[in-house]
Amino acid sequence: MIPPKTNQKYINRLNELIAKGKDVPVRTESVGRLANFVTGEKSYKQVDRVDWPKFVEWRTNCTTLLDNIIPANSIHRATVDGFQTLGNNKDKLEFGISFLKSIREDLESGFLDDLSLKIEVELSSDYMGQAESLLKEGATGKHDHVPAAVLAGAVLEKALKTLCAKLTPPEPTKNDNGKPLMLNALIASLKKRGIFNEIVAKQLRTWASIRNSAAHGEFEEFNKIQVESMVAGIKSFLMQYLS
């Protein structure tokens, strides 16, 4: 799923490149070929050529942008991969502009988003809302914040597994024995893949520790204020990495 601000940034850049493509100069050339081997007579045909330096610049800009927008498993990937080899004639330029327009339309309509990821984001948001409700309903001095910690931790674990699955190639979420990896192992794997840095990883490990303490009945290891911070932090993490 592409974040709204990033999505609009891509749309704006597509608009710029569509306009830039339309401004690439086109000139008509007469191309001759030998029509008669005896007389040496030549025949000519008119060919529309585009300005080569400007076309190469535009084509490179388009390839860079499309490579960031189109996922590796998309049906559009073959077209993107072939964009850099487009020849400098008017037909190829018009094809490229039309392709940019179609991608822009898909972005505006949300059709390039991953549907399964979009559904998960919505479900995660609902669960985090439940965690916030549990915190509001809890009484000071009681352990009513524990269920919120468990629920928020479960949402975080599912989010990390989703991030692993979306990588190319996917990052394993089970060990060699087929058992699911724990939170800390998932965090380490994603950090190693460069999804986030050590600062984020350290915060995730703190939340994982709270979740583990809550799940094992170690209620004195954390308090309601820490859980409130955990819930708010996980919501922010989901918005940044899954939205």
> What average pLDDT does this structure show over 76-98?
89
| Cβ count within 10 A of residue 202 | 11
Is residue 49 within 8 A of residue 29, CB to CB? The reply is yes
- Between 218 and 165, where is the model more confident? 218
Which residue has 């599912």 as its token pair? 158
Of the candidates 147, 123, 125, which has an alpha carbon nearest to the alpha carbon of residue 134? Answer: 147
> What average pLDDT does this structure show over 179-190?
94
**Rounded to whole angstroms, how far apart are CA atoms 20 and 58?**
7
Reported confidence tier of residue 13, pLDDT bands at 50, 70, 90: very high
> What average pLDDT does this structure show over 10-34?
87
In the chain the domains, ranked by start, together with CATH numbers, are: 4-109 (no CATH), 115-241 (1.20.120)
- Between 44 and 149, where is the model more confident? 149
Min mean pLDDT across 29-38, 86-95, 109-118 is at: 29-38
Summarised one tens digit per residue, pLDDT across range 31-80 is: 656 555 555 566 667 778 899 999 999 999 999 999 888 877 677 888 88
Question: C-alpha dihedral over 45, 50, 51, 57, to 10 degrees?
Answer: -150
- The H or E element spanning position 31 is strand 26-34
Of the candidates 76, 68, 132, 129, which has an alpha carbon nearest to the alpha carbon of residue 103? Answer: 76
Give 81-106 as a DSSP string. Answer: HHHTT--SBHHHHHHHHHHHHHHHHH
- Is the pLDDT at 146 greater than 60? The verdict is yes
Min mean pLDDT across 15-19, 117-121, 168-172, 225-229 is at: 117-121
- Is the pLDDT at 140 greater than 60? The verdict is no
The mean predicted confidence, pLDDT, of the chain is 85
**Rounded to whole angstroms, how far apart are CA atoms 100 and 130?**
42
pLDDT confidence of residue 200: 96
pLDDT confidence of residue 115: 47
* Residues of the chain above pLDDT 70, percent: 84
pLDDT confidence of residue 243: 67
